[in-house]
Amino acid sequence: MKEINSDWLYEIKPKHKLFDLNFKEIWRYKDLLFLFVKRDIVTVYKQTVLGPLWYFIQPLFTSIIFTLVFNNIANVQTGVVPAFLFNLTGITAWNYFSHCLTGTSNTFVSNKGLFGKVYFPRFIMPLSTTFSNLLKLGIQLCILIFFYIYFVIKGTAISPNLNLLLFPIYVIMIALLGLGAGMIISAFTTKYRDLSVLVGFAVSLLMYISAVPYPLREVQEGQPKYAWIVEYNPLTQIIEGFRYMILDYGVFTWWGFFYALIISIVLFLVGLIIFNRTEKTFIDTV
């Protein structure tokens, strides 16, 4: 027996570099990514009567409730913009974030059966969650466009502005934030489950300091002392900017835009590093 040559295909060893995401490998598994996305989309509403209609019902009802509670009872002002449309816009963006976050935050725990048996780049999993949620975002945008046109025909003075060109960047920012935070949480929950308990209610609380059911100006004027909590939240900048480009209503600053962009990228990179460190041995502790 002799070794013909010493160029091994790969090595399995304990120590690893801080950042060793193998893009070539992920590219090789692109079909798997596609199939996971398809599986997520197809199987969610199997054996339901309304099927994909559920994608419409959830944001619609949330918007109606928000309009009743915040605008009609708590009297939050939304200017010329119809309160319902204001809420629907915010919720569409917010939903994408919260679905990405909750979807990726239990990556390791909910897939331990599969991860414990077979190797593939683990990053495929959160990535597929992000992509399948992107499709849901697309569907929800259709409802948004439907009501938008309805209100325009009714004669409401709303129109998008030039910022609409930033739309893809906003979507990417939301995805990066959700994915980054989700990956960090998923990595920590492999050993200590405390964070997964936190995620459930933290996400719903986070919504209230992300200016979803109210415009940013409302806080700045109403609670100037505490407005910074909301302002420094990158999500506020994204939600507010998202509404601003579509409804031409709200506060937009380039400072806020770039602030949110940098935070998103940093959080994503930190998440990726932690996720990578965890994926090699999480099965021992999960």
Partner 1 sequence: MSVILKAENISKQYRLGTVGTGTLSHDLNRWWHSLRGKEDPYLKIGGVNDRSLKASEDYVWALKDINFEVNQGEVLGIIGKNGAGKSTLLKILSRVTAPSTGIIKTKGRIASLLEVGTGFHPELTGRENIYLNGAILGMTKSEITSKLDEIIDFSGCEMYIDTPVKRYSSGMTVRLAFAVAAHLEPEILVIDEVLAVGDAEFQKKAIGKMQDLSHAQGRTVLFVSHNMVAVKSLCDRGILLENGMVTATGDIAHVIEEYLSSSKIISRTETKITDNHRRTNTSREIQLSKVSSIQTHNLIREELRFKIDLKLNKRIPESVIVTGTICNISDHAIGSFFSKPFLMNKDNLKIELSIFNHNLSIGEYYMHFSISKGNLEGGDIEVLDHAYEAIGFEIYNESSEKDYLLNWNKYWGDVFFQSNIKILD
Give residues in contact with partner 1 (CB under 8 A).
1-4, 7-14, 16, 28-29, 31-32, 34-36, 39, 42-43, 46-47, 113-120, 191-192, 280-281, 283-285
Among candidates 142, 169, 125, 155, which has minimal Cα distance to 35? Answer: 125
- Angle between helical axes of 234-247 and 254-279 (0-180°, round to 10): 130
Nearer to partner 1 by C-beta: 17 or 225? 17
CB-based contacts of 69: which residues, under 8 Å, 6+ apart? 213
- Stated length of the chain: 286
Nearer to partner 1, 111 or 233 (CB): 111
Judged by CB, which is closer to partner 1: 39, or 64? Answer: 39
Residue 88 CA to residue 12 CA, distance in Å, equals 49
As measured in angstroms, the least distance from the Cβ of 44 to partner 1 is: 9
Beta carbon nearer to partner 1, 113 or 168: 113
Shortest distance, position 24 Cβ to partner 1, whole Å: 13
- In whole angstroms, give the CA distance from residue 122 to residue 259: 30
- Which CB atom, from 43 or from 75, has the smaller least distance to partner 1? 43
Shortest distance in whole angstroms from residue 61 CB to partner 1: 26
Nearer of residues 1 and 49 to partner 1, judged by Cβ:
1
CB 99 → partner 1: shortest distance, Å?
Answer: 19
DSSP calls for 90-119:
HHHHHHHHHHHHHHHHTHHHHTHHHHTT--
CB 8: neighbour CB atoms within 10 A? 7
- Residue 262 CA to residue 259 CA, distance in Å, equals 5
Q: What is the dihedral of CA 164, 168, 172, 178, to 10 degrees?
A: 60
Closest CB 180 distance from partner 1, rounded Å? 21
Residue 50 CB, shortest distance to partner 1, in Å, is 17
Q: Tell me the two tokens of residue 59.
A: 């944001």
